[in-house]
Amino acid sequence: METLKSNELIRIINEFIHNDYQRRFNVKLETVVAAIIGEDNLINEMPKLKEIQKEFLEKKRFIQTYYVLTKTKQI
């Protein structure tokens, strides 16, 4: 059960990042996570989810920077 919950939370974070679910459906990440794991467990899970989201955004920024730098070298 814990594995399924963890996988679903990671999937939700990816959807929020890639498809901009917050703007698209006018709902916050905290609201969706609270619906999945419950309000009581939200306080324990949000720091973990924010860390995952932060790591993903840092990797995305790194990839974009690398892409820009390699494109300018080709020109």
Q: Token pair for residue 25?
A: 């459906």
Q: What is the pTM of this model?
A: 0.64
Q: Which domain holds residue 7?
A: 2-74
User: Using one digit for the tens of pLDDT, what is the confidence trace for 9-46?
Assistant: 888 888 888 888 888 999 988 899 888 888 888 888 88
Domains identified in the chain, total number: 1
Q: Measuring CA to CA, which residue among 16, 13, 14, 34 is closest to residue 25?
A: 16
Q: Is the per-residue pLDDT at 52 higher than 70?
A: yes
59: burial class by Cβ within 10 Å (0-12, 13-18, 19+)?
A: exposed
CA distance 9 to 55: 15
3-state secondary structure string across 44-71: HHHHHHHHHHHHHHHHHHHHHHHHHHHH
